[in-house]
Amino acid sequence: MPMKILSRFTVIATLGVAAGVVFSSIIAVKPAAAQLLAHKAFYSLKLGKLRAGSNFSGASGSMGLELKGTCDGWIMSQTLIMDLELPDGRQIRQDLRFTGWESLDRTQYRFFASNRTDNEREDFRGSARLFGPGSAGNANFRVPDARKIPLPEGTMFPMGHTAWLIDRARVGQRLANTIVFDGADGEGPQRVSAFISPTLGPDHHEGGKMVPKLGAAMARPGWKIRMAFFALDAQSAAPDYEIEILQLDNGIVPSLLLDYQDFTVVLKPEQLEVLSPPKCD
């Protein structure tokens, strides 16, 4: 069973500690209206549900995430460690590491990913460029081998996709379909279908309950968003996997569920460090 975890900084965002610090650290992702918060965060990971016939009996782990603004873009870093328990008592460890840079105009992207399962390791490195915002482009892998993958018109990179989803939610759109490329598993772009709930005030979502621990930035409106991911040329109506998040309007994600068909895992924010914005001329 494929165990792809998104780099998806598309769906994993930040936690805040105090309104004054939060708003001084916000950086606009142009040209979208959405603003995302530079941060370093730590998430706990635990098993959600096991479905009948699952190959696993348990899951635990953690995720570290850093989203840092630069004068010309964003640097995104993610480390995810997940221990999967088998019914016979054996354990499989998956260690996923990702670093990417995305330009503010959303047309340029560089990435490095290392995926280790027990003693097996795969590395992916490359870059991508769109001919213009919303235009087609190409992704160029250098590791493990040199190859070019065409990116169709409308392709987005992770940070641009996050900002775009928030903008769609703000105007009341309930279904948002697009194409996303992250390079995290060596494959090409994916079709992503997002189902967006009506707006939820902080008194009506779990993020509001986290304010005492994680700060005032949790007291923001947000939306439940469920995303289904498909290979670009998939013939099946069933997605490769799905995720469900609570997405706040400042980019923070107070809850995240990864659905791997026969089991789910839940990630919860435990710690946060807000990062200072870059000093740009």
Does the structure show a pLDDT above 90 at 149?
yes
Least confident range of 5-9, 17-21, 68-72, 84-88: 17-21
The Cβ-side half-sphere exposure at 212, using a 13 Å CA radius, reads 1
Q: Model confidence at 16, in pLDDT bands (50, 70, 90)? A: very low
* Pairing outcome for strands 155-156 and 175-180: parallel
Give mean pLDDT, residues 215-230. 87
- Give the separation between CA 71 and CA 277, rounded to whole angstroms: 9
Choose the most confident range, by mean pLDDT, from 47-51, 126-130, 221-225.
126-130
- Give the separation between CA 236 and CA 84, rounded to whole angstroms: 27
Per-residue pLDDT, 18: 24
Q: Model confidence at 35, in pLDDT bands (50, 70, 90)? A: confident
Task: Using alpha carbons, list the distances in angstroms from residue 70 to 29, 35, 221.
Answer: 11, 14, 27
CB 176 within 8 A of CB 91: no
Nearest to 141 by CA among 163, 118, 162, 112: 112
Give mean pLDDT, residues 209-227. 84
Nearest to 157 by CA among 184, 181, 135, 193: 181
Q: What are the residues whose beta carbons fall under 8 Å from the beta carbon of 231, sequence distance 6 or more?
A: 187, 188, 190, 191, 240
Report cis status (omega within 30 of 0) of the bond before 202: no
Give mean pLDDT, residues 6-12. 32
Task: Using alpha carbons, list the distances in angstroms from residue 103 to 22, 110, 133, 139, 191.
Answer: 22, 9, 11, 15, 22
Per-residue pLDDT, 61: 96
Task: Using alpha carbons, list the distances in angstroms from residue 95 to 98, 127, 202, 253.
Answer: 10, 22, 34, 22
CB 165 within 8 A of CB 156: no
Does the structure show a pLDDT above 90 at 69?
no
Report residue 140 as tokens: 């160029």
Per-residue pLDDT, 34: 64
pTM of the model: 0.84
Give per-residue pLDDT as tens, 182-195: 998 888 999 999 99
Report residue 86 as tokens: 């088998």
Report cis status (omega within 30 of 0) of the bond before 31: yes
